[in-house]
Structure 1
Amino acid sequence: MKNRKLGSTGLEVSEIGCGTWGLSGTTNDNFAYGPTTDETSIQTLRSALEAGVTFYDTADLYGWGHSEKLLGEAFAGHRDRVVIASKVGYTSPEGAQDFSSDHIRRSLENSLERLRSGHIDLYLLHDPPLAAVPGALPILESLQREGSIRAFGISARSPQDALAAVKDHGVRAVQFNFNLVDQRAVDIGLFETCVELGAGTILRTPLCFGFLSKGLKGFEFHDRDRRKKWSPAQAECWTQAPDLFFGGLRDGASQTPAQLSLRYCLSFPGTSTVIPGMMLPEHVAENTEASRQGPFTAEELAHIRHVYTTNEFFVK
């Protein structure tokens, strides 16, 4: 597993991290990717650590704290081996948010208790409206000085918001959607700006909610899986996308769609880490192999970009 610097934050992270929303299963009415068990989730986290994954992304929203509890249990006695990012902002399943200083401090204290840790390595505002960012920065700076967080940033609603946070508000760690069928970050020059200004990047949804792994074709989603409510036409469009992107590539037949999708994300110098969701140890084994396989060539990236610009991947 290769490591990369998270911009100028002082943090070094595995280039493939682990998204943990799904590990909460349906605990506390979690509405993510269907049921799982705590035993399996903890086994998955420990498998990831042994595979060299050091970066773990969570939030107080995920299972309303259950994801953080799982991380605390899985890495008890190994806290110094991992870099944990958590988020703050949501206060209800309906989407209410609070970015006040009091709420941020109180939520951090609760997260630290669940994580069994004295600090959080990276603390992110969770989908904040851009107007809320300037008002929240002073409390984050204060918490950093106190030592309860090492660095801070935002998990942006869109790549455009991430760009504005970096350029206009001096944010030095941003999380945003990026994958084969969502290349908005390339469209707006986000990677180049982050490199220029020293901002670390965390790429979420690299497998487009699992659809780019090709394992979901014809899959029947659980009632507590958020994808069950999505348009069947959209799901079908995304499921077919890997064939379009990878059919003509040299490694298209020898590597899995998930590995190829992750390699694409890792091919940009501005990428700090990519966080596929991993709910089973076999997901860990498959995904971490992408780090060894390395980035695409310029010619391969040009082919992928051509497919993206000549096809429509969002059903209207």
Structure 2
Amino acid sequence: MIEQRAFGSTGLTVSAVGLGAGQVGERDVTEPQAERLLQGALDAGVTLVDTALSYGSSEERIGRHLAGRRDTFVLSSKGGSGVEGHADWSAGAVRASVEQTLRRTRSEHVDVFFLHSCSLEVLRRGEVQDALDAEVAADRVRVPGYSGDNEALAFAAASGRFGALECSVNLLDRWNLHHVVGRDPGLGVIAKRPVANAPWRFAERPTGHYAELYWERLRALDLDPGDLGPEGWTALALRFSAYAPGVHTAIVGTANLEHLLANLDAAAAGPLPPDALERLDEAWGRVGTDWPSST
């Protein structure tokens, strides 16, 4: 069974690997496929499911297939912009985002609700945090969170206004890990992109693909997974992220249950051995120290 961890000081408990439910909402995923993945994830010990208003039909499918098991997992969602009839990052947009999440997921409350990558400028005004606080006061949200990277994430973490963060953390993306994650042990941290969009799939630069930047970084680091262990890139990357200092859960985005189960098996092997981590750190120190997080 996958390891369960306290989620900072939020009072919630999450699995070391969670489910990123973005792909669950895509149109080419059938309803039976979505049900099999969602039910299978919980059966395998996953206790965090992460979604967002912008993830197609993800929230509705979570509601349809997991409403009867709602007290067995932590639900996190994201919003605050793109809500019809409301200006982005207004109090109305935050309130409507939470209300839509509750309705779609058939929930009485959202365990963690993240402001979905609003800018540093928006955060500095403070109004959107006030709006999220109002949702906490009304018991519609348990933990207020911020999802983003780089300077905006650092500001959010230091502000004292949030109980949870979601950010990029992987062996090719360490800015958040080195500058933000773990500095406040009370903050629950969800690591997104734990396998760095798997750039090792491509023999040549995947121009225009979301993995292009990570492909370039992988080449610059000049790493050989065979020198680091027998697991291969995906297992290596997932173990790096799931056991990174300050990270409580790493979310795997997939619509394939077998893929998720393979990742759970990989993470169950525990942290990477010290010599592997040392070689990864050495490579990062040579070329990666100035790389910002991929947003």
Tell me the residue number matched to 1:200: 188
Kindly report which structure 2 residues correspond to 1:143-158, keeping only aligned pairs within 5 A, or say none.
143-156=135-148, 158=149
Name the % identity: 29
Q: Residues 241 and 294 from structure 1, CA distance in 2 versus in 1: closer, same or farther, beyond 3 angstroms?
A: farther
Tell me the residue number matched to 2:66: 75
| Moved segments of 4+, more than 4 Å | 231-236, 238-243, 311-314
Tell me the residue number matched to 2:162: 171
Shift of 1:231: 7.9
Q: Residues 298 and 236 from structure 1, CA distance in 2 versus in 1: closer, same or farther, beyond 3 angstroms?
A: closer
Shift of 1:194: 2.6
1:302 to 271, 278, 283: 278
Query: Using the alignment, how far apart are the partners of 2:39 and 2:49 within structure 1?
Result: 11
2:40 to 43, 47, 52: 47
Query: Using the alignment, how far apart are the partners of 2:49 and 2:75 within structure 1?
Result: 5
Q: Residues 283 and 241 from structure 1, CA distance in 2 versus in 1: closer, same or farther, beyond 3 angstroms?
A: farther
**Does residue 244 of structure 1 match 2:223?**
yes
Kindly report which structure 2 residues correspond to 1:76-155, keeping only aligned pairs within 5 A, or say none.
76-91=67-82, 98-133=88-123, 134-155=126-147
Unaligned runs of 5+ in 2: none
Kindly report which structure 2 residues correspond to 1:193-272, keeping only aligned pairs within 5 A, or say none.
193-195=183-185, 198-211=186-199, 214=200, 216-217=201-202, 229-230=208-209, 234=213, 236-237=215-216, 244-249=223-228, 252-253=229-230, 255-272=231-248
Tell me the residue number matched to 2:267: 291
Shift of 1:232: 8.6
Q: Residues 228 and 299 from structure 1, CA distance in 2 versus in 1: closer, same or farther, beyond 3 angstroms?
A: closer
Shift of 1:135: 1.0
Query: Using the alignment, how far apart are the partners of 1:236 and 1:40 within structure 2?
Result: 30
Query: Using the alignment, how far apart are the partners of 1:9 and 1:80 within structure 2?
Result: 16
Shift of 1:132: 2.1
Instruction: Kindly provide the CA deviation profile for residues 232-272 of structure 1, in whole angstroms up to 9, marking residues without a partner as x.
Output: 965754676898152212xx22x242221111012323111
Query: Using the alignment, how far apart are the partners of 2:93 and 2:79 within structure 1?
Result: 9
Matched position secondary structure for 1:229? coil
- For these two proteins, the number of residue pairs brought into alignment is 285
Unaligned runs of 5+ in 1: 28-34, 220-226
Conserved? CA contact 1:159–1:177, under 8 Å: no
Matched position secondary structure for 2:246? coil
Conserved? CA contact 1:60–1:86, under 8 Å: yes
TM-score (norm 1): 0.81
Tell me the residue number matched to 1:15: 16
Which one is further off, 49-58 or 3-12? 3-12
Q: Residues 60 and 232 from structure 1, CA distance in 2 versus in 1: closer, same or farther, beyond 3 angstroms?
A: closer
Conserved? CA contact 1:245–1:304, under 8 Å: no
